[in-house]
Amino acid sequence: MSSPSRTRALMAELRRSLGEDDPMPPRIEPLRIPDPPIRVFPKPRPRSRYADEAAAHTTALVGIGRVGTRYATPVVLQFQAELAVAHAAVAAELPDGWADEHGLLPLRSRVGDHREFLLRPDLGRRLDADSLERLRSTATKGVDVQPILADGLSAVACMGSGLALLEHLTAECTQRGWTVGTPLCAKFARVWLEDEIGQEVGCKVAVILLGERPGLGTGDGLSAYMVHQPAIGKTDSDRNMISNIHARGITPPDAARRLALLAGSMLEQGTSGVSLDLSPLVAELGDAGGVGLREPQVREPLVFVGDDDGGPE
Amino acid sequence: MILEPLLPTILSVRRIPDADPALLRAYGADPDRHRSLGLITADQDDPVYVALDEATKHSGVDVVFARSFWAGAGSASGKLSGEVLGVLAATDPAEIDEGLRAMIRCLEHDACFYGANDDGSIAVFPHVIPSLGRYLSRESGLEVGSPMAYLVAPPMEATVALDAALKAANVTACKIFPPPTETNFAAAWLSGTLPDCEAAALAYAEAVVDVARNARQL
């Protein structure tokens, strides 16, 4: 049974058809945990200026201090709250009909349900019979670039910034004079599904945009995997990828531009993956070369311990 | 975000296993058949009426009393009053327990108002009952087991929406409660096949949202 209440299912349907549905989970109010009666603070140690500077540019768990041999309570609580966000993102499912509503051709892997999707990556890499039939009869064949939007491990990310990324990428490709394939949306998809889809439509370059494994505090990140001459049997060494596509990482327009540059060199050199020579692109890819300094990153607090001003004096 | 459930809060649930005959009579029960009472108050009246009906499908209880309080939960007489008191009666206290559990399940997972605007200050109850229990079938005059759309909204919204619901599907109005009811809402009970009732409820909710968005046409 999909919903315990017929009326609630009807209203959810109406909400979607009125365009009032928000795919993101509701904002959770940060928890407030009162201070314990006695708090023993560790002796503050002078912090290294270099470490502070480095920590400001990442949301990774560095420069978080310690209490004895353990993490401080706020760090542990924040960690657990962020883990919960990640769990929720993994558990989210792309609603049936979402692809249709957004003008994408709906496809589905051989996976039966969400649990099977998590447990059987092999099934997520192949299309089911209906989808294969639909793809063969509907999709445009022999294109230069075939973009595929997919849920991957975070349907939240796919519904969040997936469409924007797809639009930007299509625009970038058309602008360069390439033909772009029918926009597709695959449910329960793993990265390697692009091999079968690309092989069927006979495209030169296939790129799958899918929700990435949620990390701490990022349930809404997308990754893009690109492969030249897709065919079943291609491996990860044949792919180039960009990860961390979300508002706080690489923004969709920026990611679309980089993907188009990658696709350009694949079309030019006729290969992809480790054998693709990216050295001519260093100047254009800029940060993608990994030399630039990222903007300072702020970790969004999900839990507050003690008073607003950071605890008693 | 609109059309999100506004969940009812159950404020109190009490049992009287061996009620006094005078009390039984006063609340509409029959001392010859009934001995135990189950009482519930909540801050939304219509979900409770649906839940009382649900209880009659799960156990041998009769709904002997169900009344809304004047002007609704916003003017409650106490923090446990809410806007409705529902009373189940049965011979066996175990039947009461089972009935109350069915009610709580229904209030937590099924019957609820929905917000028709972003802050939820306009509420709509476009509820479809796939199969009527003994309570609402008696009140509506429909057969036990037939479907019914139970539609509630504030006066203006309800009036416009009822017209839309009646025109949207092959349904007949078995009862219309024009405003003001006790809680100053307006309601209607529509009967038809289940798909028709669902279509009517959808049209009703959509019309309420439309009135909420365009309150003044002139």
CA–CA separation, B138 and B143 (whole Å) = 8
- Say whether A10 and B128 touch across the interface (CB within 8 A): yes
Whether the CB of B201 is below 8 Å from some CB of chain A: the reply is yes
What does the DSSP assignment read for A9-31? Answer: HHHHHHHHHTT----SPPPPPPE
Residue in chain A nearest B105 by alpha carbon: A4
CATH number of this structure's domain B5-111 = 3.30.70.1710
- At A45, phi and psi to the nearest 5? -110, 150
Q: Does B7 touch chain A (CB under 8 A)?
A: no
Residue B145 pLDDT class (50, 70, 90 cuts) = very high
ipTM confidence? 0.85
pLDDT band of B66, cuts 50, 70, 90:
very high
What pLDDT digit, counting tens, does each position of A227-253 carry? 999 999 999 999 999 988 988 788 899
Work out whether strand A303-305 and strand A31-33 pair parallel, antiparallel, or are unpaired. Answer: parallel
Q: Which residue has the higher pLDDT, A151 or A292?
A: A151
- CA pair distance A117, A263, nearest whole angstrom: 29
Helices (H), chain A: 6-17, 49-56, 73-91, 98-101, 114-119, 129-138, 155-175, 193-201, 252-269, 282-285
C-alpha to C-alpha distance for A188 and A159, rounded to whole angstroms: 13
Name residue A108's beta-bridge partners. A187
Let me know: does B148 contact B131? Beta carbons within 8 Å.
no
Q: What is the rounded distance in angstroms from the CA atom of residue A106 to the CA atom of residue A96?
A: 9
- CA-based end-to-end distance of chain A: 55
Q: Is the pLDDT of residue A310 over 70?
A: no
* CA distances (Å), origin A62, targets A34, A65, A76, A79, A299: 25, 8, 13, 12, 11
Place of tokens 């923004």: A251
Residues on chain B touching A3 (C-beta within 8 angstroms): none
Q: Which residues have a Cβ under 8 Å from the Cβ of A2 and sit 6 or more positions away?
A: A9
Interface check for A4 against chain B (CB to CB < 8 A): the answer is yes
Q: Is the pLDDT of residue A190 over 70?
A: yes
Copy the structure tokens of residue A230.
């897709």
HSE-CB of A210 using CA atoms within 13 angstroms: 28
Residue A289: the pLDDT is 47
Contact B127 A11 (CB under 8 A): no
Same fold, B5-111 and B116-213: yes
Is the CB of residue B169 less than 8 Å from the CB of residue B197? Answer: yes
Least reliable range by pLDDT among A38-42, B7-11, B112-116: A38-42
pLDDT at A23 over 90: no
Closest Cβ–Cβ partner in A14, A21, A22 for B206: A14
Strands B113-115 and B62-68: unpaired
Distance between CA B153 and CA B164 in Å, rounded? 13
How far are the Cα atoms of A241, B45, B189 from residue B63, in angstroms, in the given order? 64, 14, 18
Q: Does domain B116-213 match CATH 3.30.70.1710?
A: yes
Domain definitions of chain B by residue range: 5-111, 116-213
Paired sense of beta strands B36-42 and B5-6, if any: unpaired
Which residues is A242 bridged to in the sheet? Answer: A224
- Using the Cβ of B4 and the Cβ atoms of chain A, whether some distance falls under 8 Å is answered with yes
Contact A14 B202 (CB under 8 A): yes
The reported pLDDT for the residue numbered B168 is 95
Distance, CA of B110 to CA of B128 (rounded, Å): 10
Which pLDDT does position A309 carry in this prediction?
Answer: 45
The C-alpha atoms of residue A293 and residue A228 are separated, in whole angstroms, by: 31
- Over residues A195-214, the mean pLDDT reads 93
* A3 at B interface, C-beta within 8 A: no
In this structure, the dihedral spanned by the alpha carbons of residues A82, A121, A128 and A182, taken in order and rounded to 10 degrees, is: 60
* B-chain residues near A19 (CB < 8 A): none
pLDDT digits (tens, 9 = 90+) for A132-166: 999 999 999 999 999 999 999 999 899 988 999 99
Q: Do residues B147 and B197 make contact, with C-beta atoms less than 8 angstroms apart?
A: yes
Decide if A7 and B128 are in contact by the 8 Å CB cutoff: yes
For residue A302, pLDDT beyond 50: yes
The residues that bridge with A154 in the sheet, in sequence order, are none
Residues in Cβ contact with B2 at an 8 Å cutoff, skipping those fewer than 6 apart: A15, A18, A20, B114, B115, B116, B117, B118, B209, B212
SS3 readout for A57-84: CCCCCCCCCCECCECCHHHHHHHHHHHH
Mean pLDDT of the A48-71 span = 79
Residues forming a β-bridge with A209: A149, A224
Contact of A22 with chain B, judged by CB distance below 8 Å, is answered with yes
Question: How do residues B73-89 score in pLDDT, each as one tens digit?
Answer: 999 999 999 999 999 99
Distance CA A55, CA B38 (A): 60
Domains of chain A with bracketed CATH: 98-286 (3.40.50.11240)
**pLDDT band at A16, cuts 50/70/90?**
confident
Residue A47 touches chain B, beta carbons under 8 Å = no
Mean of pLDDT values over A62-83: 83
Per-residue model confidence as pLDDT tens digits over B168-181: 999 999 999 999 99
- β partners of residue A303: A31
Computed over every residue of chain B, the mean pLDDT equals 95
CA A30 to chain centre: 24
